[in-house]
Amino acid sequence: MIDQFGRTIDYMRISVTDLCNLRCKYCMPEPFDWLSHSEILSYEEILRIAQAAIRLGITHFKVTGGEPLVRKDIVQFIGRLRALPGCKAVTLTTNGVLLGELAQPLKQAGLDAVNISLDTPDADRYAQISGVDALPKVMQGIDAALDAGLKTKLNCVLLQDTKDQVVALAELAEHRPLDVRFIELMPIGEGMQGGGFSPQQARACLLQRWPDLHPINEQRGYGPARYEASEKLMGRIGWIDAVSHGFCEQCNRVRLTCTGQLKPCLCYESGTDLRALIRSGAGEETLYKALQQAIYKKPSAHCFAQQDEITENRIMAQIGG
Ligand code: SAM
Ligand code: SF4
């Protein structure tokens, strides 16, 4: 559907849990109060919302979390979401730890593509950042995703702590059909503390290694990433610089948190409580109208440049990234 600023909104990120098997420093504070089971939407509730969203023209869904693959029966859920009439694509964002065993069943269930988060390919550094010695599992997950024939991208948050890892991460695209995308740290949750590395500096590092790196005009997914190519890289390099290179004018997405809040913009905590609506017995038409209103009123832009205007206090794992 078209929002009040004329943007076509056809993409929804769905967070299915706040739980995670990692503790990435920039995302998950310790200790952390997990939500109770009853606060989280059931798969049936999510599918009802997705059906209403499809009626409004939302055709692409990204399943996220917390870590989506830790939720029981996630493969079956993804299959059911993908099978909804009118759904054109379901993709997944995961830390990759459980992907080694799940990539093939996910592909069979109809998953279209996967984004795997990886901030360093060095095992010790990985354990320092994520709190778990899980790099071999993630690397297995990447191979399993490629072997299963899933379109696969890596998402790497640019951190001061890992600025010397940028080239090693991009090297993973040398001999694999894998896009490596660098994400600017956003001032959300633990990211409020800062500690990001600038995309401009990261690009300068890459240019020393691949001087022919150049922008290309290719649409390689459903998001705002800008891509570059080098003769020496099989995959592409992507940049998602939401803070310094805002792309709100082309924003096509809304978010559904795991507690059922429809969140029109990452920056603001406000949203529509669809869980309350569903659990009070609302019918399909009421649900449809609530979604329609919430999407129509999507704010014109985020406020990352004026951090005192950010009203979102939850961490990324609660919102879904
Ligand atoms: N657990 C899954 C994963 O790590 O891919 C899905 C959820 S995670 C919240 C989604 C994405 O958000 C990850 O790529 C993660 O690196 C990113 N992320 C978390 N906090 C962030 C922040 N403050 N700024 C930018 N990206 C962030
Ligand atoms: Fe978990 Fe993803 Fe957050 Fe890391 S970024 S702690 S994997 S939710």
Sign of CA dihedral 270, 245, 15, 5: positive
Distance (Å, rounded) from C-alpha 254 to C-alpha 318? 15
pLDDT tens, position by position, 204-259: 999 999 999 999 998 888 888 999 999 999 999 999 987 877 678 889 999 999 99
pLDDT average, residue stretch 83-108: 98
pLDDT average, residue stretch 120-128: 97
Mean residue pLDDT across the chain = 93
Domain boundaries, the chain: 11-319
Give the distance (Å) from ligand 2 centre to CA of residue 27: 6
Residue 80, pLDDT score: 98
**Phi and psi at residue 161, to the nearest 5°:** -60, -25
Give the distance (Å) from ligand 2 centre to CA of residue 179: 20
Residue 317, pLDDT score: 82
Which amino acid appears at position 87 of this protein?
A: C
> Which H, E and C letters describe 162-177, residue by residue?
HHHHHHHHHHCCCCCC
Residue 114, pLDDT score: 98
Q: What is the dihedral of CA 263, 266, 268, 272, to 10 degrees?
A: 0
Distance (Å, rounded) from C-alpha 55 to C-alpha 229? 37
Residue among 87, 94, 88 at smallest CA distance from 66: 94
Which amino acid appears at position 218 of this protein?
A: E
Residues with Cβ within 8 Å of 171's Cβ and at least 6 positions away in sequence, in order, are 121
Strands (E), 50-162: 60-64, 89-94, 113-117, 151-158
Q: Given the CA of residue 20, which atom of ligand 2 is nearest to it? A: 1
Token digits of residue 34: 């997990």
Identify the DSSP state of 318.
H
* Mutate which of 27, 70, 316 for ligand 2 pocket (most atoms within 8 A of beta carbon): 27
Residue 307 has pLDDT above 90, yes or no: no
Give the orientation angle of helix 135-147 with respect to helix 123-130, to 10 degrees.
Answer: 100
Give the distance (Å) from ligand 1 centre to CA of residue 122: 19
For the structural domain made of 11-319, what CATH number should be given? 3.20.20.70
Are 7 and 300 within 8 A, CB to CB?
A: no
